[in-house]
Amino acid sequence: MKRCLAAAGFAAMALGAAAAERMVITVQHELNAARPAETITVPWLEVNRRLPGALLQQIAVRDAGGRLLPYQVTNVAPQARDPKGEGIAYGELIFQHDFAPGEQSARFTVEKTGTVSPPFPAKVGARYVPERLDDFAWENDKVAHRTYGQALAAHAPPGSGKEVLVTSGVDIWFKRAGYPIIDRWYNKGHDHYHKDEGDGLDMYGVGRTRGAGGTGIWNGRELFTSRNYSGWRVIANGPLRAIFELSYDKWDAGGVQVSEVKRFTVDAGHYFDTVESTFTFTGGRPLTVALGLNRTPAYPEQTPAVRPYRAAPDVLMQWVRQRSAGDFGTAIILPGANGYAADADNELILAPAESGRPLRYYLGAAASWSGEFPNAEAWQAYVAAFKARLASPIRVVIE
Q: What is the CATH number of the domain that holds 69?
A: 2.60.40.1180
Q: What is the pLDDT of residues 36-77, one digit of tens each?
A: 999 999 999 999 999 998 999 999 999 999 999 999 999 876
Q: Which residues contact 3 (CB under 8 A, 6 or more apart)?
A: none
User: Do 66 and 22 reside in the same domain of the chain?
Assistant: yes
Whichever domain contains 232, its CATH number is 2.70.98
Does residue 91 sit in the same domain as residue 116? yes
Domain boundary (120, 143, 168) is at 120
pLDDT at 16 over 80: no
**Average pLDDT over every residue of 74-100:** 76
Tell me whether residue 159 is in a domain.
Answer: yes
Q: Which of 120, 139, 156 is the last residue of a domain?
A: 120
Strands 143-147 and 346-353: unpaired
Strands 305-312 and 315-321: antiparallel
The tally of domains found in the chain comes to: 2
Residue 224: count other Cβ atoms within 10 Å of its Cβ: 17
- Stretch 348-356: mean pLDDT: 97
Q: Give the pLDDT confidence score for residue 188 in this predicted structure.
A: 92
Let me know if residue 397 belongs to a domain. Answer: no
Residues 96 and 139 reside in one and the same domain = no
Residue 101 makes CB contacts below 8 A (sequence gap 6+) with 32, 33, 34
10 pLDDT band, cuts 50/70/90, is very low
Q: pLDDT class for 2, splitting at 50, 70, 90?
A: very low
Q: Which domain holds residue 279?
A: 125-390
Distance of CA 43 to the CA centre of its chain: 19
Contact status, residue 202 vs residue 193, Cβ threshold 8 Å: yes
- Shared domain for 144 and 222, answered yes or no, is yes
Is 259 within 8 Å of 278 (Cβ atoms)? no
Residue 119 has pLDDT above 80, yes or no: yes
Per-residue pLDDT of 214-232, as tens digits, reads 999 999 999 999 999 999 9
User: What value does the mean pLDDT of the chain take?
Assistant: 90
Q: Provide the whole-model pTM.
A: 0.91
pLDDT by residue (tens digit) across 275-333?
A: 999 999 998 899 999 999 999 898 766 666 788 888 789 999 999 988 778 899 999 99
The answer, yes or no, to whether residue 78 has pLDDT greater than 90, is: no
CB contact burial 330-365 (16+ within 10 A = b; e otherwise): bbbbbeebeeebebebbbbbbbebebeeebbbbbbb
| 212 shares a domain with 335 | yes
329 belongs to a structural domain = yes
* Region label for 100, one of left (φ > 0), alpha (ψ between -120 and 50) or beta (otherwise): beta
**310 inside domain:** yes
Task: pLDDT band for 190, please (50, 70, 90 cuts).
Answer: confident
Name the nearest CA neighbour of 217 among 145, 287, 321, 308.
Answer: 287
Residue 399 falls within a domain, yes or no?
Answer: no
Give the per-residue pLDDT at 153.
87
- Which of 82, 98, 120 is the last residue in one of the domains? 120
